[in-house]
Amino acid sequence: MKLAIITGASAGIGQSSAKTFLSENYTVFNLSRRPCPVAGVHNITCDLSSPSDIDAACDTLLETIKTASCVALVHNACQMRKDSTTACDSNSLREVLETNLIAVNSLNQKLLPHLPDTSSVLYIGSTLSEKAVPGSLSYVISKHALLGMMRASCQDLMGSGIHTALICPGFTNTEMLQTHLGNNDEVTRAIASMNSYNRLVEPEEIARFILWAHCNPVINGAVLHANLGQKES
Ligand SMILES: NC(=O)c1ccc[n+]([C@@H]2O[C@H](COP(=O)([O-])OP(=O)(O)OC[C@H]3O[C@@H](n4cnc5c(N)ncnc54)[C@H](OP(=O)(O)O)[C@@H]3O)[C@@H](O)[C@H]2O)c1
């Protein structure tokens, strides 16, 4: 049995990924607060900022992993807040890091020792894993940190038969982006014009790329941008 474990598959890129892996006959588990609406996905209600929720989720997942021939572990869930170097309360930063970073580590610590070879650990980063923009301090910090975690994973998993990569979507047409842009059509059009194709990336395009990354261990340790070619600003 081929298994995909996806955090944050209730919406956006995670939801599309769930659909894509299902279509390739994977058993798919979603970890998020809301359920994934895609029929056939196994939902584990999990607030990734809660260590006890993560422990309970891992108990269920470890039972299933025992019967899996390969696992795609996709760290996709994320909190995105508007904050900055001069306006980011440390409690708020701690909350964001809890979901975007600490939860990723907790899942890795509990699940990685049990993954069969030919598995993958795929981190969903961002263009903001390698650059910064104003007004997104906690997001930029957490996405840069994921890059470091991916590279460390690559080194620590040498010889295990498990590969890893950081997938960095560009502006993708999801709830997170639309909320961040204030659900404003004009702003969305301006953002869409910042790449070579004058449109947003569709979540399905990232989902297919995630599946491809899982199936191709040659990319082990890579930072993979998927953004339609962004204009340099
Ligand atoms: N959209 C873009 O333009 C873009 C660009 C670059 C990178 N990305 C990255 O792509 C990934 C997916 O983003 P998206 O745009 O698809 O976002 P989205 O549509 O807003 O989905 C975010 C997902 O994260 C989950 N999540 C958030 N907080 C959670 C928590 N505390 N516990 C459990 N699940 C939680 C949400 O589930 P619940 O609310 O149900 O818990 C939801 O399923 C993120 O890592 C994001 O940084 C997106």
0.85 surpassed by pTM: yes
pLDDT of residue 56: 98
Please write the tens of the pLDDT for every residue from 99-124: 999 999 999 999 999 999 999 999 99
- What does the radius of gyration of the chain's CA atoms come to, in whole angstroms? 17
Please state, for a pLDDT cut of 90, what percent of the chain lies above it: 98
Among candidates 198, 201, 182, which has minimal Cα distance to 190? Answer: 198
On whether residue 212 sits in a domain, the answer given is: yes
On whether residue 211 sits in a domain, the answer given is: yes
Atom of ligand 1 nearest to the CA of 173: 1
On whether residue 111 sits in a domain, the answer given is: yes
Among candidates 105, 116, 21, which has minimal Cα distance to 70? Answer: 116
On whether residue 183 sits in a domain, the answer given is: no
Find out whether the beta carbon of 156 lies less than 6 Å from any atom of ligand 1.
Answer: no
Average pLDDT over residues 66-92: 97
159: CA distance to ligand 1 center in Å? 31
Among candidates 45, 34, 39, which has minimal Cα distance to 22? Answer: 39
Find out whether the beta carbon of 121 lies less than 6 Å from any atom of ligand 1.
Answer: no
On whether residue 176 sits in a domain, the answer given is: no
Domain count across the chain = 1
On whether residue 233 sits in a domain, the answer given is: no
pLDDT beyond 80 at 222: yes
Q: Write down the mean pLDDT value for the chain.
A: 97
Find out whether the beta carbon of 27 lies less than 6 Å from any atom of ligand 1.
Answer: no
On whether residue 188 sits in a domain, the answer given is: no
Instruction: Assess contact for 41 and 52: CB atoms under 8 A.
Output: no
- State the residue range of the domain holding 30: 2-171+203-226
Strand 70-75 and strand 27-32: the pairing is: unpaired
pLDDT tier at 1, thresholds 50, 70, 90? very high
Please write the tens of the pLDDT for every residue from 4-30: 999 999 999 999 999 999 999 999 999
Q: 198 CB contacts (<8 Å, ≥6 apart)?
A: 192
On whether residue 11 sits in a domain, the answer given is: yes
CATH of residue 18: 3.40.50.720
